Amino acid sequence: MPRYDFDLLTIGAGSGGVAGSRRAGSYGARVAICEQGRVGGTCVLRGCVPKKLLVYGAQFSDAFEDAAGFGWSVAPPAFDWPRLIAAKNKELDRLEGVYRTLLKNANVALIEGRAVVVDPHTVEVNGRRYTADNIMIATGGHPTTPELPGIEHVISSNEALDLPQLPRRIVIVGGGYIAVEFAGIFRGFGAEVVEIIRREELLYGFDDDVRVALAQEMRNRGIEIHTRCQVARIEKFPHGYSVFTTHGQEISADLVMYATGRKPNTAGLGLAEIGVALNAEGAIEVDAWQRTTVPNIYAVGDVTDRLNLTPVAIAEARAIAETLCNDNPIKMDHDDVPTAVFSNPPIGAVGLTEEAARRQFGEVDVYLARFRPMKNTLSGREERTVMKLIVEPRSDRVVGCHMLGPDAPEIIQGLAIAIKCGATKKQFDQTVGIHPSAAEEFVTMRDKLVRPTKLAAE
């Protein structure tokens, strides 16, 4: 008779929880997963997937515009938001079904309801107690907003993905991933978009050349960006809202969206009570093995608030399953994780920014290309692509790749393998390009960038 009901009990059926549970199940472990909502989690139901579907939808406006330069006559296109939302929801329903089937096929028991950890080996759901040898917390995070008068009127990305109507004018607060992605989405569908950020530039943490270029491209598309600006208060009127800024402006809109970060879902889980250490933001502290301060309790993904990306959560959870259920101890490697922002145009990046590389290595070589993609020659679109390589000169290793432009996420995914393998600039140069493509620029950059300021100093 086994000592516990399960070998592994996971709380949260999002990307991380499902991936780790399935992997453990595939090794014959007795696994259960608890979920209080729909199966799929943030990425599938409220994040990456629905967002990307809306990004695809929004990109058609560019395609219609560009077609004329290639000889097409396109009647003024009409767009039906409720139809897109219904199609998107149908796809999410399908995906939820797929996730449920995947769990079933991996012999993972699904326990539906809110879970509370009662002691290091016991979890309670709907008044029933389940015991487990190990517990994996994969409860994700939720959007947060600052405290200010009128904040109760704003929506988050959760609601933005399910609006009954497309707003004519929207104010988006925040300069991170979610804010710039939704600015591109709403603008693509024809809405007037005002983005308010508290810094000088969008996307803190990304390479400065890419940040500056993205803001320029967004402005060229008609998105108003108010920099070094904060919201003082928001007022509701019969036909919309007014956003009052610290710059003394009043901006009216049909809708105000906040994308000012996310917080880990740890409240009410019973973790602190049993000795699981949380940081000041409520994130679970874990070691390199994803282990919390209670040795048989593990945590993965956004609830640990480190690299909040779906593939990272998945890899962390699978590492736990390998370690516990396959006698194959694996630590997740958090170095050189590629990332993308599905803004319009999109960004792809892997490795260090120029600034971070200078901090780490002192002098670095920088290769920078800015060009008008071939498609834009006939379409007439002015948009320019930016590509950048950062090289550590002593080893010749390429320590950072950054791109803003069409297909950047697809291109950077491939380059991320080279970076992970420690590729040198010489090896980039020895690689034959694919012609004609934008990606070939990454293997044909010959001239080191000399910054104008440096020129002046010399």
Residues numbered 213 to 272 that lie near ligand NDP (CB under 6 A) are 259-262
Q: How far is the CB of 177 from ligand NDP (least distance, A)?
A: 4
Task: Tell me which stretch binds ligand NDP (CB under 6 A): 76-84, 323-331, 338-346, 427-435.
Answer: 338-346
Q: Does 179 bind ligand NDP (CB under 6 A)?
A: yes
- Using the contact rule CB under 6 A, the part of the chain among 23-31, 84-92, 214-222, 340-348 near ligand NDP is 340-348
Please tell me whether residue 338 binds ligand NDP under the rule CB under 6 A. no
Shortest Cβ 194–ligand NDP spacing (Å): 14
* Interface region with ligand NDP, contact rule CB under 6 A, candidates 31-39, 96-104, 114-122, 175-183: 175-183
Interacting span for ligand NDP (CB under 6 A) from 97-105, 174-182, 187-195, 384-392:
174-182
Tell me the longest C-alpha to C-alpha distance in the chain. 78
Task: Say whether residue 348 binds ligand NDP (CB under 6 A).
Answer: no
Q: State in angstroms the smallest separation of the CB of 198 from ligand NDP.
A: 5
Pairing label, strands 128-137, 122-125: antiparallel
Q: Does 199 bind ligand NDP (CB under 6 A)?
A: yes
Among residues 339, 344, 353, 379, which is the contact residue for ligand NDP, using CB under 6 A? Answer: 339
- Which residues, 383 to 402, sit near ligand NDP by CB under 6 A? none
For position 175 contacting ligand NDP by CB under 6 A, the verdict is yes
Count of CA atoms in the C-beta half-sphere (13 A) of 393: 9
CA distance 150 to 236: 8
Looking at 5-13, 193-201, 353-361, 438-446, which segment touches ligand NDP (CB under 6 A)? 193-201
Residues binding ligand NDP: number (CB under 6 A): 23
The single residue among 85, 299, 341, 445 that binds ligand NDP, judged by CB under 6 A, is 341
Residues numbered 54 to 73 that lie near ligand NDP (CB under 6 A) are: none
The smaller minimum CB distance to ligand NDP, of residues 146 and 414, is found at 146
Q: Are 340 and 349 in contact (CB under 8 A)?
A: yes
Q: How far is the CB of 321 from ligand NDP (least distance, A)?
A: 23
Which residues, including other chains, have CB under 8 Å from residue 295's CB and lie 6 or more apart? none
Binding residues for ligand NDP restricted to 265-304, rule: CB under 6 A? none
- Helix 81-105 with 48-67: angle, nearest 10 deg: 140
- For residue 142 the two structure tokens come to 């939720």
Among 64, 72, 204, 371, binds ligand NDP (CB under 6 A): 204
Q: Does residue 435 have an active-site annotation?
A: yes
Cα–Cα dist 255/151, whole Å: 12
Does the protein bind ligand NDP through residue 185 (CB under 6 A)?
A: no
Residue span 113-152 as binding mask against ligand NDP, x where in contact by CB under 6 A, dash where not: ---------------------------------x------
Our finding on whether 198 is near ligand NDP (CB under 6 A) is: yes
Closest residue to bound ligand NDP by CB:
176
Report, in Å, the least distance between residue 196 CB and ligand NDP: 7
User: Using CB under 6 A, which of 340, 398, 408, 412 touches ligand NDP?
Assistant: 340
Give the one residue of 130, 177, 241, 298 binding ligand NDP; rule: CB under 6 A. Answer: 177
CA–CA separation, 88 and 57 (whole Å): 10
- Report the C-alpha dihedral over residues 312, 315, 316, 319, rounded to 10 degrees: -170
Q: Which residue has the tokens 């920088």?
A: 366
Measured from the CB atom, the residue of 32 and 312 that comes closer to ligand NDP is 312
- Cβ at position 308, least distance to ligand NDP in Å: 3
- Give me the least distance between CB of 292 and ligand NDP, in Å please: 21
Task: State which of residues 309, 325, 390, 411 lies at the interface with ligand NDP (CB under 6 A).
Answer: 309
Residue positions annotated with a catalytic role: 435
Q: Which residues would be at the binding site for ligand NDP (CB under 6 A)? A: 146, 173-179, 181, 197-199, 204, 259-262, 308-309, 339-342
